[in-house]
Amino acid sequence: MNFSTITIAGSGVLGSQIAYQTAFKGFDVTVYDINDEALEKAKERIEKLKGRYQEDLGASEQAVNDAYNRIAFQSDLAKAVSDADLVIEAIPEVVKIKTEFYNELGKAAPERTVFATNSSTLLPSQFAEATGRPEKFLALHFANEIWINNTAEIMKHPGTDNDVFDEVSQFAKAIGMVALPLHKEQPGYILNSLLVPLLDAAELLLSKEVADVETIDKTWMIATGAPKGPFAILDVVGITTSYNIVNAKAEATGNEEFKKLANLLKTEYIDKGKLGTATGEGFYKYPNPSFEDPDFLKN
């Protein structure tokens, strides 16, 4: 594996996490986004990650500062990728935006550069031709809170070179991930193929007024031994993301239950600023949500 210089395209929640984790493991990282305003927000996000790494991983102050200092920020795409061995794309889940980005990236990046998409809903084959180098393109999908939930799903498309697939798998391990190879394209990969039906089922139970948030989570936690229930997971994922998925299903299928659920998420949570852990309140209030109470599963 010859990757040493990594560019992360897209500086949102997960893009920032990927960038910091990669730098924390000793790689030189450039974060690219479309303007300086977006990059300033990324700097704030990454600064906050220092405390989480100290708290969750026991990292020293020097280690978290050294990691931050290995990150450069750039709003000029050509400059951001001029020396990149690997570009990990984490931009919005919109086909048109990603296609246009890959058209530009393919022209700007050196011929040797490998491209990976972190898309959780779209398949690499949808963008392979737009990259101009389909054999050097694949998916590399991370879970939120990457430093704790250290999965890396590596998914090839039919045209991905096997050596590139192996190199990206080695890179994932080098940044502290457990590499999970997928040899065929699968919408939702492994994680979301398992997780999304669970989250949908929990949200529909709430929407149908079968049970409340805490009861649904408590049931799942007691019966399976899971550390979090589906609504605690949704708070981490973000309720806006959940709404977008549910609303898309409602529009695609016309299903009245999904329409009702989308309306519930919009009016009772999103419109009230309850977006999950990022805003301090979602289905639970943070810090110290009730599901972390030692007596939560006893009553």
- Which residues are identified as catalytic? 120, 141, 153, 192
The whole-angstrom separation of Cα 16 and Cα 8 is 8
| 153 in Cβ contact with 191 (< 8 Å) | yes
Output the DSSP codes for 7-57.
Answer: EEE--SHHHHHHHHHHHHTT-EEEEE-SSHHHHHHHHHHHHHHHHHHHHHH
Helices 191-207 + 213-224 axis angle, to 10: 140
Q: Token digits for 1?
A: 């594996």
Residues 6+ apart with CB under 8 A from 237: 144, 199, 276
Output the DSSP codes for 228-264.
Answer: S-HHHHHHHH-HHHHHHHHHHHHHHH--HHHHHHHHH
The string over 121-131, giving b where at least 16 C-beta atoms fall within 10 Å of a residue's C-beta and e elsewhere, is eebbbbbbebb
